[in-house]
Amino acid sequence: MNIQIFANKEEASQQAFILIKEALDQNKLNFGMMTGESPKLFYQMLRESDLDFTQANSINLDEFYGLGEEDEHSYHYYMEKHLFKFKQFNQTFIPNGKNYNLIDEIDRYEQILADYPRDIQMLGIGVNGHIGFNEPGESFNSTTHLTRLAETTIGTYQNYFKGLERPPEYAYSMGIKSIMDADQIILLAFGAHKAKAVRDMIEGPVTRKVPASILQNHPNTVILLDREASRLLNS
């Protein structure tokens, strides 16, 4: 793991931006994208830049089950708002939360992952160590699946879900194996509330209890942290 600690999230996001710019310069075109708080500055930097994504493809990690693109709580909506409205991509893919036929949706997404092998997979980390919505206990061999959100996750997403009559209990998510298949992984974690998960991911044993700990076994993972998120690290 290549661990880089920055004074603040602006500098860490800037580094993520540089890595994506270098990838584009090298003609890498398939980017696994994520959502949430962590990439907001990074997306701002992308959309305010002159980077050209018209030949690139974006393949998102996950989507809430039951939420369609018109719903402002969906990750479709999030990606439009933060990136796609401003930057044209060749193709963009996100699991379809409105497809209630699980086999059909999972097969569709697995085919997309096979057709567009990711050069880079962007990741955040949950306070419980989840990556994508692979919650503690998830098999390291998992591929795209419907996952039940952990209580902790529903708790931390409370603000995000505000306004929904019933917060989603499930999400479609790339599996851990799907994530590990990417050539390079770039994980962003900011803030003191992430410090324990970050320590467990980097310095703890590789265990299903901390899904992100599997990244220790990935040959090309870059972890970009602000100072608070790194504060429990020993070295």
Task: Catalog residues that contact ligand F6R under the rule CB under 6 A.
Answer: 34-38, 61-62, 124-126, 130-133
Q: Which of 33, 40, 35 is nearest to 64 (CA)?
A: 35
Q: Annotated active-site positions, please?
A: 62, 128, 130, 135
Least distance to ligand F6R, CB of residue 25, Å: 26
Q: φ, ψ for residue 33 (rounded to 5)?
A: -110, 160
Residue 34 or residue 234: which is nearer to ligand F6R going by CB?
Answer: 34
Least distance to ligand F6R, CB of residue 33, Å: 8
Residue 76 or residue 87: which is nearer to ligand F6R going by CB?
Answer: 76
Residue nearest ligand F6R (C-beta atom): 124
Q: Which of 7, 52, 230, 49 is nearest to 125 (CA)?
A: 230
Residue 43 or residue 116: which is nearer to ligand F6R going by CB?
Answer: 43
Q: What share of the chain is helix, strand, coil (3-state, %, to 5)?
A: 35, 20, 45
Task: Compute how many other C-beta atoms are within 10 angstroms of the C-beta atom of residue 151.
Answer: 10
Q: Which of 210, 130, 119 is nearest to 171 (CA)?
A: 130
Least distance to ligand F6R, CB of residue 160, Å: 7
